[in-house]
């Protein structure tokens, strides 16, 4: 191992000069995260301060038993979620790896060998004249047996190894938040697809009811034609309208099939019919959603917390990269038994062997490589800062958009309900006028068509209301069990700071 010389100290002084020449740390907080003047508004523009709905578990937010079963199956069996769990396991292994680098390395080993030198060499001539004891010649060939413990330790003077370890912990916690974010998205996607499925069921039912009414109207028009009160054109128009709506039924059936298969796929199972209750979809009431204050997003949104953890990790990695400019102190040694006869191997103190060495060295020739690594870490920290700001801004905008959509869709739904009621009453009026020869058949036809479109639009509006309600819940950060990520994070943090073997 290299000996300590005055040049090592000169190297250290040179490295300190390096830091002052071209490397500037981004201003950081005490925990290593980059500080910024990024602030969020104190209030949402479309909501008052109140309790936050994101604190509700999805089981409390979604009361439908069928929907709850689908969500439970998906959280247990979804392949994409399970793949992410394995990626999290990789991050956990990285934590353990970084943890091990902080502590000393101790290796236990044993070995043996044999060495034969030439008789006409210097070593051979010396051995020829050596005696172990009076009358006992030096062994030829010479055996060598050893049993030892080797010790090596890089003393973490500048916290480089500990910063790397803590950065790995933060990235592991960030991966946990990534899983939580996927859970919130998965829950919301299943809920949206489920309510869209109920909406399609109701649209198909409306079409069937409309077809029955139109078929009755078609029979009435045929009787009118037989009485020479209308022409063949009226019959053809009514018949074409019935066929058009019958065709639309099959289109909705296909959409239902696709949605059912989508839900089954998310639940990690092969296609199977989904049993559900679609009656009363139009009368589904939405629980009021409480947005709280924008600062709650920092605690509730997993993507915001993930970006924050990534930012802190990047700050620690910058500190670790800057520590490479300073001298490093390595301590090493070995203790064990060494003998040329197996029978004498464990004889003490004659066979005891040990050594110890300390080495202080600083980089000199590879200045540009270390500086480049530092600049890369600093650039990644800035990118993490901008990513955090962008994530926070996106979270705020999502909440504002969904709250506004809930309000506007609610007003639109009330007006559309009145439109449907008006048009439904107009169907009977148009038929009476037509039978009394006071209205043309086209008026009956258009009234029925307008009523059908309005009823279908009403169902679609309801589905959009439910979708906005679900997305608002997701935007606020709801949809997962908060105790599990916290417990997992605490366990890994404790393990990363414990001694090896604990």
Q: Is residue 351 part of a domain?
A: no
Measured from the Cβ of residue 85, the count of other Cβ atoms closer than 10 Å reads 12
Helices 160-226 and 483-497, packing angle to 10 deg? 160
Q: Is residue 124 part of a domain?
A: no
Higher local confidence (pLDDT), 150 or 90 = 150
Q: Which pLDDT value is given to residue 363?
A: 80
Beta bridge partners of 196: none
SS3 assignment, position 131: strand
pTM of the model: 0.76
Q: Which pLDDT value is given to residue 119?
A: 73
Q: Is residue 434 part of a domain?
A: yes
Shortest CA distance to 58 belongs to which of 287, 240, 283, 293?
A: 287
Are 51 and 59 contacting, i.e. CB atoms less than 8 angstroms apart?
Answer: no
pLDDT in tens, 413-464: 999 999 999 998 998 888 888 777 777 778 888 888 899 999 999 999 999 9
Q: Is residue 65 part of a domain?
A: yes
pLDDT-derived band of residue 23, with 50, 70 and 90 as boundaries?
A: very low
- pLDDT of residue 489 exceeding 70, the answer is no
pLDDT in tens, 335-380: 888 887 777 778 888 788 888 888 888 887 777 888 999 999 999 9
Measured from the Cβ of residue 134, the count of other Cβ atoms closer than 10 Å reads 5
pLDDT-derived band of residue 70, with 50, 70 and 90 as boundaries?
A: very high
**Torsions phi, psi of 108, nearest 5?**
-110, 130
Q: Is residue 130 part of a domain?
A: no
Higher local confidence (pLDDT), 131 or 274 = 274
Are 291 and 403 contacting, i.e. CB atoms less than 8 angstroms apart?
Answer: yes
Shortest CA distance to 94 belongs to which of 501, 502, 489, 496?
A: 496
- For residue 486, give every residue at least 6 positions away whose Cβ sits within 8 Å of its Cβ, in sequence order, or none: none
Side-chain-side CA neighbours of residue 152 (13 Å): 7
Measured from the Cβ of residue 70, the count of other Cβ atoms closer than 10 Å reads 23
Distance of alpha carbon 461 from the chain centroid:
31
- pLDDT of residue 381 exceeding 90, the answer is yes
Total residue count of the chain as it appears in this document? 502
Helices 65-77 and 79-102, packing angle to 10 deg? 50
Distance of alpha carbon 275 from the chain centroid:
31
pLDDT in tens, 182-209: 889 999 999 999 999 999 999 999 999 9
Number of separate domains in the chain = 1
Higher local confidence (pLDDT), 222 or 286 = 222
Q: Is residue 460 part of a domain?
A: yes
Higher local confidence (pLDDT), 107 or 309 = 309
SS3 assignment, position 135: coil
Residue 214 sits in which domain range? 22-103+159-326+366-497
Q: Is residue 383 part of a domain?
A: yes
pLDDT-derived band of residue 496, with 50, 70 and 90 as boundaries?
A: low
Q: For 93-233, where are the E strands, in sequence order?
A: 105-115, 131-133, 136-137, 142-155
pLDDT-derived band of residue 392, with 50, 70 and 90 as boundaries?
A: very high
**Distance separating alpha carbons of residues 85 and 79, to the nearest angstrom:** 10
CATH number at residue 245: 1.20.1600.10
pLDDT in tens, 220-239: 888 888 888 788 898 898 89
- For residue 24, give every residue at least 6 positions away whose Cβ sits within 8 Å of its Cβ, in sequence order, or none: 378
- For residue 83, give every residue at least 6 positions away whose Cβ sits within 8 Å of its Cβ, in sequence order, or none: none
Beta bridge partners of 147: 110, 337
> Which pair of structure tokens corresponds to residue 25?
């740390």
How much is the average pLDDT of 103-124? 80
Of the chain, the percentage scoring pLDDT greater than 90 comes to 32
pLDDT-derived band of residue 49, with 50, 70 and 90 as boundaries?
A: low
- What is the maximum alpha-carbon separation in the chain? 143
Q: Is residue 336 part of a domain?
A: no
């Amino acid at each position: 191992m290299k000996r300590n010389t005055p040049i090592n100290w000169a190297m250290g002084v040179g490295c300190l000069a390096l830091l002052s020449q071209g490397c500037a740390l981004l201003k950081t907080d005490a925990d290593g995260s980059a500080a910024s003047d990024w602030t969020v508004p104190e209030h949402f523009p479309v909501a008052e301060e109140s309790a936050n709905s994101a604190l509700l578990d999805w089981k409390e937010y979604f009361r439908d038993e069928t929907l709850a079963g689908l969500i439970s199956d998906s959280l247990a069996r979804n392949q994409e979620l399970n793949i992410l769990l394995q990626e999290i396991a990789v991050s956990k292994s990285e934590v353990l790896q970084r943890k091990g680098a902080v502590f000393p390395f101790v290796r236990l080993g044993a070995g043996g060998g044999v060495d034969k030198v030439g008789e006409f060499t210097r070593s051979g001539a010396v051995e020829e004249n050596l005696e172990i004891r009076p009358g006992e010649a030096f062994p030829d060939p010479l055996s060598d047996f050893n049993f030892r413990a080797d010790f090596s330790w890089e003393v973490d003077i500048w916290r480089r190894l500990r910063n790397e370890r803590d950065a790995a912990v933060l990235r592991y916690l960030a991966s946990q938040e990534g899983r939580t974010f996927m859970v919130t998205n998965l829950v919301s996607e299943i809920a949206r697809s489920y309510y869209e499925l109920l909406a399609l069921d109701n649209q198909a039912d409306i079409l069937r009811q409309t077809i029955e009414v139109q078929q009755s109207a078609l029979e009435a028009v045929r009787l009118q034609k037989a009485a020479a009160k209308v022409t063949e054109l009226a019959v053809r128009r009514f018949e074409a309208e019935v066929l058009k709506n019958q065709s639309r039924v099959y289109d909705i059936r296909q959409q239902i099939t696709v949605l059912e298969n989508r839900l089954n796929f998310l639940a990690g199972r092969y296609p199977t019919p989904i049993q559900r209750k679609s009656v009363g979809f139009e009368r589904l009431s939405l629980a009021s959603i409480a947005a709280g204050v924008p600062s709650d997003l920092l605690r509730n949104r997993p993507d915001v917390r993930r970006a924050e953890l990534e930012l802190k990790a990047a700050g620690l990695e910058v500190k670790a990269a800057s520590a490479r400019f300073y001298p490093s102190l390595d301590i090493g040694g070995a203790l064990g038994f060494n003998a040329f006869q197996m029978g004498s191997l464990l004889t003490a103190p004659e066979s005891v062997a040990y050594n110890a060495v300390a080495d202080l060295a600083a980089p000199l020739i590879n200045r540009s490589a270390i500086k480049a690594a530092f600049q890369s870490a600093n650039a990644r920290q800035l990118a993490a800062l901008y990513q955090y700001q962008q994530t926070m801004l996106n979270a705020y905008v999502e909440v504002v958009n969904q709250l506004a959509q809930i309000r506007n869709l609610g007003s639109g739904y009330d007006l559309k309900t009145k439109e449907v009621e008006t048009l439904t009453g107009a169907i009977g009026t148009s038929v009476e006028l037509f039978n009394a020869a006071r209205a043309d058949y086209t008026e009956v036809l258009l009234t029925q068509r307008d009523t059908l479109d309005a009823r279908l639009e009403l169902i679609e509006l309801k589905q959009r209301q439910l979708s906005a309600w679900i997305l608002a819940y997701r935007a606020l950060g709801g949809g997962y069990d908060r105790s599990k990520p916290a417990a997992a994070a605490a366990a890994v943090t404790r393990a990363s700071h414990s001694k090896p073997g604990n």
